Structure 1
């Protein structure tokens, strides 16, 4: 989390269906003095809570050279990508590890998070950013439709509680791309756990 024009987004993803962005990286709004100052990470688009990432034990990712991933692997034959994003979070998150794996299948992306915490105090949350039409259509299923492209986000609702939050955009640069509103899907664990396995799949419909 220390590149030029950095966002705190280690381990995030974007998903396109037929060249249409469905699960998104919002990007950056209109440049201001704040964008290139010590206040940069008070801007919501720079924060990991507004990327497709977890909020761990009440903490989001931090910025700086040592907030980074480790144990990164890619298997082109199996179409898998994995990394440990625990070092992107502050010490207060109390992480031993947070291993995220992406598995790309035909018409499906499977995301798996395995984690271990030293001192869990708050429920973990996992965020997904999208736009278009978003609806919780059944237990463990959120449907997204963008410009005629349909997908379902599936998860274990016995384990995770879903919330869909509308984010009204007031920045002209962002509105020109996404329109008036984007959506943040939050999946919150139902209980505080020292370790766990979470799995979500995005299926093209």
Structure 2
């Protein structure tokens, strides 16, 4: 009441920095001058309202979500039971993450990111997600990084396995229109926003349709979303992958 007149005269300004970094929770938000916004996280798999999603990200272009986190469906008894992680929205293989040796992340406080770093000047975030996976994944280290420049987002994976049992698979969730114009290239168009993802030649790209029969999800995304699956036949104990997402006019 004492300051309402002064507030009425003020012009609201939302001045968002290029990088916002919360080291305690390992949440990081980065933007560039061309309308790309990236949200990434480290953390651990027993956070409040937890999903198994250490190392995941979301990408927005001009405020439109393009590479997405599906969110959570209608709460049920299952959501708060021992069967919580049988729900697909809670699983890491339905986030923007790798399946290492064919194995997804596991629930629990011990399944976490390590060596999480944010370089605010360079707009680079990196974290080792190996400890978020169970022993069956046989992973020694898996450093997932995100670098945002003025024109593109570069996603990096550098890994060392104790043993290569199954080929790795890297997943990305999206919606809208997804096409494959040529080998090594995926085009995504959502509400007038277009991006191209370039991926390494050892991968074969596929697209899986996820039907949304839960109104809490379908009210946001529509009747379906899509999981882009990048699969390789290689079984190597060390390696690196690079994925580049850039805007298309």
Greater RCO between the two (CA within 8 Å, min separation 6)? 1
Alignment of 1:1-205 (within 5 A): 1-156=45-200, 158-205=201-248
Query: 5+ residue gaps in structure 2?
Result: 1-44
Runs of 4+ in 1 over 4 A off after TM superposition: none
SS at match of 1:175: helix
1:52 is displaced (CA, Å) by 0.2
In 2: Cα distance, 1:148 partner to 1:68 partner? 37
Q: Give the structure-2-normalised TM-score.
A: 0.81
In 2: Cα distance, 1:118 partner to 1:161 partner? 24
1:21-60 per-residue CA deviation (whole Å, 9 max, x = no partner) reads: 0000000000000000100000000000000000000110
1:82-115 per-residue CA deviation (whole Å, 9 max, x = no partner) reads: 0000000001111110001100011210001000
Query: 5+ residue gaps in structure 1?
Result: none
In 1: Cα distance, 2:183 partner to 2:76 partner? 43
Q: Which of these two proteins has the greater Rg computed from alpha carbons?
A: 2
User: For the aligned residues, what is the CA RMSD?
Assistant: 0.6
1:159 is displaced (CA, Å) by 1.1
SS at match of 1:65: strand
1:168 is displaced (CA, Å) by 1.1
Segment drifting more, 34-43 vs 189-198:
189-198
Q: Give the structure-1-normalised TM-score.
A: 0.98
